Structures are given as C-alpha cells and as structure tokens.
Structure 1
Amino acid sequence: MTTHNLLIELFVEELPPKVLQKLGDAFSNVLFEQLKAQGLTAANSAVTAFASPRRLAAHITDVSELGADKAVQQKLMPTTVGLDANGNATPALLKKLQALGAGPEAVAQLKRAPDGKAEALFYDSIVKGASLAEGLQKALNEAISKLPIPKVMSYQLETDCGIDNFLPGWTSVNFVRPAHSLVALHGSMVVPVKALGLVAGNSTQGHRFEARVSPLVLANADVYADTLAQDGAVIASFTERRAEIARQLNAAAVKAGGGEDSRSQGGLRPIEDAALLDEVTALVERPNVLVCEFEKQFLDVPQECLILTMKANQKYFPLLDDEGKLTHKFLVVSNITPDDPSAVIGGNERVVRPRLADAKFFFDQDRKKTLASRVQGLSKVVYHNKLGTQGERTDRVRAIAKGIAALLPEAKDAKFLQAVDTAAQLAKTDLLTDMVGEFPELQGIMGGYYARHDGLGEDVAQAIEDHYKPRFAGDALPRNTVGVVVALADKLETLVGMFGIGNLPTGDKDPFALRRHALGVIRMLVETDLPVGLDELLLRAFEDAQWGAAIQATKAVGHAASTVYLNYEAATPLASFIYDRISGGLREQGYSAQEVEAVLALRPQRLSDVAKRLTAVRAFVVLPESPALAAANKRIGNILKKAGEVDAHVNTALFKEDAEQALYAVMLKLLPESEAQFNAGDYTSSLQTLATLRSPVDAFFDDVMVNAEEMDLRLNRQGLLKCLHLAMNRVADLSCLAS
C-alpha cells in the first residue's frame, strides 16, 4: 500500500503565547493518535509538532492512502431473543441484520457464545479501512475540538455562497483565534478536508514583514520547515526557535560583557527564566536578540523591582554580572531583523525608561514612611470575612511566634525574642506600600529592604523578607531562626484559621494553598531540626493566638456567631492533614506503604526523626527475625485491645511457666539496652537489639495461655505483654509490617 508523509497546518492570527506550546503539542498528538486508531499510520510512523505565533502544524511520516480492513465481531442479541424454539431467526434478528447490511442468509454464519449468564448471537464482518480523506477529516475535527483553548472567540468568516450566488454569505466560527488558511498535503497531493470554514490547500503565509514570497506554495509535505525558514523567514518549530533564542541570548551577553574573553574575566549572563523564554518563543517567528541599556541611576532601586518590571511588562532579559547583580544592560528579542537596528534599540530603551522611573518613584516614596508607622493601617485591610483584618491576623501571628520562640533554646536571649516579635509585627506592613501595590510578587522582599532602611537589623530584615518561604517545592527556607519562627507562625495561623472555620481543601481545589502551607511547615521542622513537637506547635497556634478578637470583629459586622465559631477540635484533623502530607512525600521518595505506615502510626512529634526511623525500619525488615516479630507484635496488640485497660506491671511471683520466666529474663537484659539506644537516637540499633526477642516470644506463645482462667495470672501475663509491646513500638508500630 502506498504511503507518503503528511503535513497539516492551521494558519491563524496570533495565538495566546502562554499556551502556544501546549496547543501545538495537543494538536499534533491528537492528529497522530486518531490516524493511528484508524490504521492509517505505520508501526514506525512519527509525528513532529510545529507551533509559531501564527500557526499550528504537524508532520507525520508514513501515512497510508487507505486504512487496512478490520475484522469486527458484533454482539447482536441474546439467543433466546434472536432464535425461536425451532432455531429459526426471529423478526427482531432479521431486522437487526438488515440494519447491518446483511440478509437472511447471514443467520447461518452467526456464532453462539456465552455472554455472562446467558448465551448471545455474534455477527462477524469485515469493515473496510477508512480512506485518508475520511480519516484525516475525523482526526482534524477531533484535534481541533480537543485543543486546550483557554478562551474561545466567535468570529464571522466570509464565504463565496450567498443568495443567487451574488450576495456574500457569512459563517459563524468558534476558535481560539480567527483562522485564515488550512494546508493538508499527503506527499505532494492536497487532501480534500475542511475545518473552521476553510478548505485545505497547499499554500501558507510566512513572516508578516520579512517573507521573501507571499503566499508560500509548498511543493510537498517534507519541505514545510525549510520553505518557511528560507522563503518565509519563520522558524516553525517551537523547540528549534527556543534553542535559537537561547543561543542568541548567550552570544549577546558575551558581546555586551566585552567579548569572548569576558566569561573568564567575569562577564555578563542573561537571567535564567524558563517561563519567560517559553513566552518570548511564542511571541516571535524570527528571533533577533539586541542589546539595550538604561541609565545607571536606576540601579539604586532594588534589583528585584527592576528585574520584575522588565520581565513581566516588557518581556526583556536583564543582564547580570558574575555575582548575580543587575547591570544597566538588557536584551530584547525582536521579531524583525533590520539592517540598522538602532531604531528598534532606541524604541525599547524609551519604552523601559518610564517603567523604571515608576519603580524608582515608588521606592523613594515608600521610604518616607517607616514600616512601624504602617502597622495601624493593617486594621483597614480585610483578611477574611470570618477571620477579621490583616491587623488582627498580625496580632495572632505575633502571639503564635512568641509561643514558638519560648520553646527554643534561644528563648534565653532577650534580643532574639524582641527580633521575633518585631519581625512578626512588621511582616505584612509592606502590603501597604506603593511598590507592593504595583508589584504584589515583591511582598516580603520589599519589607526586607524597608526594614534595613529603618535600621531594624539584618535578622529582622531577613525574617520579614523570608517569612513567606518556602513558597513552592524546592524553594529556600528562611535564612535565620527568627525567620523560621515567623514563617512557621504565619503558616500555622493560616492553617489553624482555615481549619477552624471549616474552610478545607477538597479534591484539586485548595484556594488558600493549605497543602503548600503544610508542606512548608514540614520542611522547616525537618530541615532545621527545631526541638519542638508538632502537637506542641499546634497547641500554641490554637491557644496563644487571640482568635476571640477575630470572632468579635466578625460579629460586629453582622455575621452570626455560629458562622464564626472557631472549632478548636480542628487540631486533630489538622494534625492528620499534616501527617498525610508527610506520608505522600515519603512514598514519592520510594518508601513502601508499610514502612511509612509503621513510622507514622506513632505520630512522631519531632518530624526530623521520621527519616531516621524509616532507615531503622528498613534495616529491621531485612532481618530474618522480622516477619515473626511483626506477626507477634500484631498478635500482642490484638490481645491487649480486647483486654481493654492493661497495667504495664509484672509480678514475678505469679510466673508458673518456664517460657514466661525466660521471656521476662531476656526482657530485663535487652529492654534497657534498647531504650538507651532509642534515647540516644540510634533507632537502627534499638530495633536490632529487640530482634533477639524472637525465640523467647515464640516460645511464650507456644507454651503460655495468656487469658488464663485465674484472674491474677491473666492480668500478670497481660501486663508482661504490655511491657513488651511498649518497648517494641518505640521506633515504629511493628504490627504494620506483618503480612
């Protein structure tokens, strides 16, 4: 069967840049999968996606003109319905066969086979393979309908058919952007398909201003990328265009820094931002990187402000020196390549200047007021209608931060406590500054700069800047203990408040980022090894914060008391929520469900201990004694559960069996050793010491009746098992390891 390569292109107006790559990949992948499902591709067929600001295209190799015929078996109906008592076809069966294009003679060819509890009739037929025109039309319709379009627009498309073929007609079309042409080439032949009111052809358009030929006629499917590049001044591949921009950015940075030797001397480099590079790639068809400058006086403004305005508003690439500091030069990715680029450079320099001037103005104005003078203004900013204002929230964060600080060894230092309180009080004040009002992404960062300007000290400034950290997976933690305390207090206030009013995440919806806050709390407790238990932290967050003030404030503005009651019983589900986040993270790291369950079943309070406990469990699991001890532990737990309240006490005078005496003797020897290892943090050795108990434990269950008829014997043996159970489950709940 003849095969050729296939090209499909939709030529449209400028597509949304932030989703261009997704649109291109989705368009090509759905096309390929649909053609494959219809048997129009070969085993070695491959698809190449193209996406530029004004086109979505796909090149698919080895596509057949006609799909292979398929053998199809179709269930018709139960045998009792299709055949009468004499085995003759019923009218219902004949009607069904007629609908399938078969006559009464097909009855003899039907197969009878079990279908659940009954028997059914099945009809075997051959379905002719789809033609390329039919299959591609179906695939194209499917690819367009499944595009991840953020927002559809409706537009009118002029057609050449109207009343009496004289008046023009109009067709309403819904698509992400108005489409102007459709290309469908199988080899050099046009495939007669339609889409969005367009009929397929073999011509497209190149660059708006720099194409050598217009329109571009494609000789065959394989010359698409080359024709666009040579005659259309367009790099059609998103990936190739992105790589070319990255190459030009690095080359321009080297040149701007003083030439090829500048790298070894500490040259310039463009800021690394994959999202910005993707967006710029989606904005240009023929990239041309140019070096621009702004006045050095603007470098007095914090570089985060300048970088943000250049990236977010203008899509420029700031240039940094070898120390990561912003320079007065930046790179522009232009979509045109004039012989004299001075006009383009000058235009971009004029455009960026007012942006930088605004940033400088905001910075200068903000520094005229101290952060402390802005605290009162937080009472006018609503945080949540059930939890009061940012001012009330700040009071709660301060209270929680003080409570956490009091648990730390640094609590003996009055300066530390004062720094924590100051940072917690001022952490949100930069929300009222002009700079953060213009650039919300700079909250915290600007607070750090203004704190330094106010002379509050580096610890306080860093804590204010870092109190939102970690903001995402892989983000850095606060740089000092003051910052860790304030960041914990800030996240715990959010978690406690939202859990307290029942505002919990559901499914994939988490509008207040409670999962992210919980993961931030976990990371800080684990990576900084704070000597604080999780339950103690939550207790501080619930009891130290003045939640009553929030309740009174919401009552004052008309909310019913029942809607603002802070449920202090939410501490338990909040703790479970945090442990669930820990469990999910550990499983992603490769720990088994049994290992994670065994450790977290004990709800370890020092989260930094979890990793060491898991290491100990893994070492224990491979021991030959492990299965038997885990099973025995589970058995002991069941016995004690049925017994109810059991006192961990042993009276040796009540021992009657050699096995219980032997077990107790081994426990007297091993348990103190295991406990000492546990207290020293050597969890692996502690569990391995307990492994020696296997033989006496097995002998105990073989020879001793725990639930003896004599009550004193029963209670004594239960007490012995209680002592053993407590010792065995210090590191992890070993019963979770039983198969």
Structure 2
Amino acid sequence: MTNPTLLDTLLVELFVEELPPKALKKLGDAFATVLADSLKAQGLAAADAAVTAYASPRRLAVQVAQVATKAADKAVAQKLMPVAVALDANGAATPALLKKLQALGVDVSNPAAAVAGLQRAPDGKAEALFLHSTVAGATLAEGLQKALQEAIAKLPIPKVMSYQLESGCELPGWTSVSFVRPAHGLVALHGSTVVPVSALGLQAGNSTHGHRFEAAKSPVVIAHAEAYAATLRDDGAVIASYAERRAEIARQLQAAAAQVGGGCKPIEDDALLDEVTALVERPNVLICAFEKQFLEVPQECLILTMKANQKYFPLLDAAGKLTNQFLVVSNISPADASAVIGGNERVVRPRLADAKFFFDQDRKKTLASRVPGLAKVVYHNKLGTQGERAERVRAMAHAIVNQLRMATTPFSVDDKDHFDMLDHKVQEAALLAKTDLLTDMVGEFPELQGVMGGYYARHEGLRDGVAIAIEDHYKPRFAGDELPRNQTGTILALADKLETLVGMFGIGNLPTGDKDPFALRRHALGVVRMLSEKNLPLDLVPLLQSAVPAFGDKITDATAALADFIYDRLAGSLREQGYSVQEVDAVLAQRPQRLGDVGQRLAAVRAFAALPEAPSLAAANKRVSNILKKAEVAVDAHVNPALLQEDAEQALYAALQKLKPEADAQFQAGDYTASLQTLAALRTPVDAFFDDVMVNAEQDDLRLNRLGLLKTLQLAMNQVADLSRLAA
C-alpha cells in the first residue's frame, strides 16, 4: 500500500459457529453499521460511501465502497490557555505555558521561538493562545483495527459465550475470549490486499468457508473484496446476503405452493420467514405431507406446532383452511430429496399426534367443570387467583352492560329484553373464559388461550355468541389485530383488559422504560380501539371508576393516573395515523370522554385550521387562557350587560349571544365541524375587543365583568378542542 490515497472496496468477514437465528439480522446490521461509521468518522471512507451488510448462520460481513488506504492529514487548532495566564507583562512565556507546551511535545528550548509559533484568537470575552498543528491521518490498518474492535464491542449480543482459543491462534495457550459464538476465521480485504488486523485471537486473511456439505471448494478464497458474494455463491454454495436469501425463500415458497395447486398458499408469517432465513445458507423448499386424519384437530393447533416447533410453513387452501401439506426450507439440495422429505414427515407426525391427544383429552371435561380449578391458579400475589380474577371480570362486564343500558334512550321493552339477554351471555362467557388455561392444549401452547376455549365451548353446544366471546376476549392481541366480532365478545374483552389495567395501576405495578411484563400499553390501546372503533357510548373515566369496586380492598383507586396513561396511548396512536401534534393536543386537552368522538373532533379541528380566521382566533384563545390564568380570583362565565361600557365589548357580547346557541346546538348534535365554523365568525369582534378594551380595568366590577365575558368566550370556543393549542 504505497499510494496513500488509493481507494478500493473493503471487505471484512467474521466466520463463526452457528449464530442465534432470532438475533442474526440485528447482529449483521449492527456489525456493518458500526464498522462503517467508524471508518467514516476516521476519514477512511466518505460519509456517503455505500455499505452492504451480509449475514448468514455462520458469518457476519460488511462491504464498504471507496475506502482509502490512508486518511487525509488534518489541521488541528488546540486551545492552550488565556493570554493573560500564558504570557507575562513583557509578552514572554510563563512557566505554566512552557509546561503545557512541553507536555504536548513542543520544543521549548527557545521559549521565544515557541511562543512565536502560537496564534492569538478571541475566546469569549478574552483572548487565548492556540497551537496549530497537523495530525497525520490514520492508516487503513490502524483505522480498521479500531473500527473492528468497536463493531465487536457494540454488537447487540443476546448472550455471550466464553471459549478457549484454538492452538495456532494469535493468543495461544489457555487464553479464552468472549463472543456470541466461537469465531474461527477473519477476512479483511482492501481490494485484493489483505489488511493486517486481528480480532478474537484471529489474524486476517483472504479465505473463508462455504456450506458445510455442498461447497465446491474448501477453503473459499476471496480474490477481491467486490467478488465476495459471487465467490461464496459459486465456490461456497452460500447466499451471503440476508435480504437476498429471504427473498429467495419467499420466491421458492410461492413456487412450491403453485406446484401443489388448488389455490394453495403458504401461511404468511414474517417472523417465521426471518427465523428460517437465519437458519439456512442455501435454501431449498420441499413439499411434504401428513395424514389427513390430523385435520380433525383445530387448525390453529396444527399450524402452531408446525411453525413453533419445526419451523415449517403450513399450506392453506383458497378458502384459508389448512391442508395436509406443508413446506420445509431445507439447507441441502440433494439430487433425490425423498429422504429429506420422508425425514421431515416422520418428525412432524409425533407433534401432530400430541396435539390430537391433547384435543381429545381436553374434550372429556366441560369448561364449567374446570371453573373450581381456577381458584388454585395464582394470578398475582397481590390480586389473588385466576378464579378471583374471573369473578372481577364478571362484575365489570355486568357494570358495562348497565352503562350501555343507561346510554340507550329512549328505552323500550325490546331494549330491556336485549340487555337482559346480553348480560346473561356476558356473565356465562366471563365465568368460562379463563378455564381453557387448565387444559392440556393451552398448557402446551399458551398462545392458544381463548382460541381453544372457543372450540371447547362449541363442542359442548354452548351458544355460538358465547363461544365467540370466549375466543375473542383476548382481542386485540397485538397492533393491527382484529377486534372482537360480537357485542358479547367486545364487552368481555373490554372488561378483561380493564381488570388488568385497573388492578395493576391499583397496586402500583406500572410499566417502566421498555419493561411492561403485563402488557399494559397493549391493553390500553385495546381499550382505546374498542371504545373508538366500535363507537361505544361509554364515558372513559366513569368506565374506569366502575371497575374499581370489584377489587374490594386489594387496590387503591388510581383512576386519574390510568386515564392519563390511556390518553397518552391514544395520543401516540393518533400521531402514528398522521395527525399533527397540535391537532392531537388540541383535542385531547379537553379529555373527551367518548373516544368514538375523537376522530370527528380531529376532522373538525383540521377543517377549522384551514379557515382564514383560524390563526387570529387561536392566538386570541391563547391570550384569553393566559389572562384567565393570571386572574387573582376565580372567574365564572357570567356577564352583566349593564356593565358593558365599550362598543367593542358590547359587540363581542352580542356576537356571542347570537352565535353561541347555534354552535352549542351543533356541538350537541355531534356536528363539530359546523360548530367551529359557526364560531369562526367571532374573529372580527374578538380582534376589536383586544384592540379597544382594557380587560384589567381599575374598577373591580368592570374587570370581573370583562373576565366573565372572556370566560364565556373561552367555554364557547373550546368545547370541541382547546384552540389555543393551534396558536403558533
């Protein structure tokens, strides 16, 4: 490397034993990003240099384009000390300055010459002396060694292993190192030149290893950094790129499904696809099958056992029903794949047989017979058993039905029959909802709780509405999940989530940072979605308060804190949907109790903000809020017309008298957009009021009357949202 400015592609690869599959993508991205960023920070690569990450089960690698063999030298100005400290009255160097220069390696044998080489420059209110020097740019070997160490140190390793180095390594003997998995090779190529760096007891070279069984050559020699992926593919039978390997697996899955025919398609599961991508280096998708008798078992059970235990892709027919065929992503490609197919079919059969056994055994006992067993299962040491929890959910569900009953006006005989029947179904579903936790199937696959309860309820002949409610009461389980399908299920799901939220807040068991073991954030979003998307006529705070009595003396009432928590989750959700911070803040500042109204309020605020009157009225609203906050006494919305002396305040009062009733009626009818647009006509009298009227008059009665007028204005303007939040 004689040319200090030579640019070429750099390749770095760590060859290791099989990496943890669920962490592979993060490991690969982090290794590439940290190493490349370090090179860029040292001036060895341009800020916009192309970076390509590679990650396979046995390697982490990165390619960085246009890397220099040596970074450019840098001119550095180093502040020494203030001139008043560095120089005496005659301008000669003080002992403090000479000591500082000597520590920096400057020759001080001739103090005058040393001082002459320094520069004065302003530093705040005084002058300081600066030493200007040139720092040599790092060589690639130096810079890459630093970058490699940083990349290894900052890897998001889920669990570190300690292992002894092999004989012949850089650090022989009993020396051990710690890494995510034992490392066996290091490649560092700048173009076709090996960069002399080391890591984990390994010296860099230009050779690696390909597929364990199908590599054409061993070792695989990388002739040039840019030939890395192609050489590994041709000589090593490895697709080094995680993204390319994932895309190839997805392509082969679709092709295999098309080969089966009948409109079949592989189950969609990004997490499974990611994990399988991290398990194979050269994917080969094969079609397998199991006995059709297993299809008598609920398909959720079979799908889960195939995905979770075997990493297979079940095949669904055109109607979304499970077929008896499935796809395997193999890491080998033999000429005759029958042995591989047969082996996978033999492996899956006992898994499916276990699922069938669990299903058959569970159906021998009714859900109702399992209810007493819930009293033996601890839910939380401060909140009691699952049996106590089920009773609390029943009480909360009953309270929700009554709140819905009271919100229905006018109330008819048919409505009474409907709510009586609804309450009966909700109570039955709440009693049985947690009983599937005691079944063998849910014991083996906890992810199926609720789902299996629904199957067992149907098997017993329970009403379909109750079975659906039992199945759906955990919904929504995750972001974007569907909501419960019927009213019974919605009420039960709402009660179940409220039981968790109210209980955990009541004992002070709140989420901290990224730790949320009881998924309270997810539960809160579930409550938000059900109340808003189902447009339930339930007020949030009374709903939360109605859940507290079910706990007796086990908790303290934390309704206020829980309501804030739910509004915070709602605010985050709305911002993710594209609403601005100002729009969301304006609406939620009023703490709307009916969450189903929030969308309409946001639409009204957005329409109002587009009006030409909006900026002026928002600014005036903010001014009103500030004036009222500073008032020395509590202000109510009362105005005595006889005390209105100025033309501008009389005009504002008259405008309010005219427009407020119309706007109030529109608000009560739920036409929030029209209500705000009606109030937009207040712009002219409001502007005139602030131009011509002194609010804080010396006479007490005039001042209080004007404050009352402003309070009336504030209440009229801020029913839909706090418009002051829209002010710039």
TM-score (norm 2): 0.92
Residue 309 of structure 1 corresponds to 305
Counterpart CA distance in 2 for 1:635 and 1:91 is 61
Shift of 1:171: 2.2
> Paired residue for 1:177, among 176, 181, 185?
181
**Which amino acid in 2 is paired with 1:108?**
A
Cα pair 1:205 1:232 within 8 Å, conserved = yes
Counterpart CA distance in 2 for 1:189 and 1:376 is 74
Shift of 1:653: 5.4
> Paired residue for 1:615, among 587, 597, 603?
603
Shift of 1:602: 1.7
When structure 1 is superposed on structure 2, of 173-182 and 664-673 the one drifting more is 664-673
Give the root-mean-square deviation of aligned CA atoms.
2.4
Equivalence map 1:186-205=2 (5 Å): 186-205=190-209
Shift of 1:623: 2.8
SS of the equivalent of 1:407 reads helix
Cα pair 1:316 1:333 within 8 Å, conserved = yes
Counterpart CA distance in 1 for 2:183 and 2:443 is 39
**2:27 corresponds to 1:23:** yes
Equivalence map 1:549-560=2 (5 Å): 551=554
Cα pair 1:629 1:694 within 8 Å, conserved = yes
Shift of 1:712: 6.1
> Paired residue for 1:454, among 453, 460, 473?
460
Counterpart CA distance in 1 for 2:295 and 2:34 is 49
When structure 1 is superposed on structure 2, of 186-195 and 503-512 the one drifting more is 503-512
Residue 117 of structure 2 corresponds to 109
Shift of 1:35: 1.6
Counterpart CA distance in 2 for 1:372 and 1:336 is 50
Equivalence map 1:114-513=2 (5 Å): 114-160=122-168, 169-257=173-261, 266-408=262-404, 409=408, 412-413=417-418, 414-513=420-519
Q: Deviations over 1:5-27 (max 9, x none)?
A: 22211111111111111111111
**2:562 corresponds to 1:574:** yes
Counterpart CA distance in 2 for 1:647 and 1:3 is 75
When structure 1 is superposed on structure 2, of 412-421 and 386-395 the one drifting more is 412-421
Residue 412 of structure 2 corresponds to none
Note closer, same or farther for the CA distance 1:710–1:111 as it changes in structure 2 (3 Å cut). closer
Shift of 1:733: 2.4
**Which amino acid in 2 is paired with 1:115?**
D
Q: Deviations over 1:598-651 (max 9, x none)?
A: 222221111111121122222223333334433444454455552645554555
Residue 717 of structure 2 corresponds to 728
SS of the equivalent of 1:732 reads coil
Shift of 1:704: 5.5
Note closer, same or farther for the CA distance 1:161–1:133 as it changes in structure 2 (3 Å cut). closer
Cα pair 1:184 1:190 within 8 Å, conserved = yes
Counterpart CA distance in 1 for 2:149 and 2:251 is 37
**Which amino acid in 2 is paired with 1:666?**
A
Counterpart CA distance in 1 for 2:41 and 2:646 is 73
Note closer, same or farther for the CA distance 1:113–1:370 as it changes in structure 2 (3 Å cut). same
Note closer, same or farther for the CA distance 1:20–1:713 as it changes in structure 2 (3 Å cut). closer
Equivalence map 1:3-22=2 (5 Å): 3-22=7-26
Shift of 1:699: 4.3
SS of the equivalent of 1:169 reads coil
Counterpart CA distance in 2 for 1:411 and 1:122 is 88
SS of the equivalent of 2:211 reads coil
**Which amino acid in 2 is paired with 1:298?**
F
Shift of 1:100: 3.1
Cα pair 1:38 1:67 within 8 Å, conserved = yes
Counterpart CA distance in 2 for 1:722 and 1:626 is 19
> Paired residue for 1:59, among 59, 63, 76?
63
Note closer, same or farther for the CA distance 1:699–1:252 as it changes in structure 2 (3 Å cut). closer
Cα pair 1:399 1:546 within 8 Å, conserved = no
- Give percent identity, aligned residues only: 74
Counterpart CA distance in 1 for 2:698 and 2:45 is 78
**2:586 corresponds to 1:598:** yes
Q: Deviations over 1:167-186 (max 9, x none)?
A: x7232111111111111122
**2:576 corresponds to 1:588:** yes
Residue 520 of structure 1 corresponds to 526
> Paired residue for 1:675, among 664, 688, 697?
664
Residue 261 of structure 1 corresponds to none
**Which amino acid in 1 is paired with 2:505?**
F
Q: Deviations over 1:489-513 (max 9, x none)?
A: 1111111111111122223322222
Shift of 1:88: 2.0
When structure 1 is superposed on structure 2, of 110-119 and 199-208 the one drifting more is 110-119
When structure 1 is superposed on structure 2, of 359-368 and 25-34 the one drifting more is 25-34
Cα pair 1:316 1:331 within 8 Å, conserved = yes
**Which amino acid in 2 is paired with 1:582?**
L
Residue 87 of structure 2 corresponds to 83
Cα pair 2:40 2:47 within 8 Å, conserved = no
Counterpart CA distance in 2 for 1:712 and 1:181 is 88
SS of the equivalent of 1:362 reads helix
Counterpart CA distance in 1 for 2:258 and 2:616 is 67
Q: Deviations over 1:242-274 (max 9, x none)?
A: 1111111111111122xxxxxxxx421111111
Counterpart CA distance in 2 for 1:380 and 1:158 is 54
Residue 547 of structure 1 corresponds to 552
Shift of 1:708: 6.1
Shift of 1:160: 3.9
Q: Deviations over 1:358-391 (max 9, x none)?
A: 0001111111111111111111111111111111
Note closer, same or farther for the CA distance 1:387–1:227 as it changes in structure 2 (3 Å cut). same
Structure 1 unaligned spans of 5+ = 258-265, 552-565
Counterpart CA distance in 1 for 2:321 and 2:43 is 57
Cα pair 2:540 2:594 within 8 Å, conserved = yes
Note closer, same or farther for the CA distance 1:699–1:344 as it changes in structure 2 (3 Å cut). closer
Counterpart CA distance in 1 for 2:695 and 2:42 is 69
Q: How many residues get paired?
A: 709
**Which amino acid in 2 is paired with 1:530?**
L
Counterpart CA distance in 1 for 2:375 and 2:125 is 72
Equivalence map 1:695-714=2 (5 Å): 695-700=684-689
SS of the equivalent of 2:134 reads strand
Shift of 1:102: 2.5
Counterpart CA distance in 1 for 2:189 and 2:693 is 85
Note closer, same or farther for the CA distance 1:82–1:358 as it changes in structure 2 (3 Å cut). same
Counterpart CA distance in 1 for 2:7 and 2:626 is 69
**2:42 corresponds to 1:38:** yes
SS of the equivalent of 1:231 reads helix
SS of the equivalent of 2:315 reads strand
Note closer, same or farther for the CA distance 1:175–1:725 as it changes in structure 2 (3 Å cut). closer
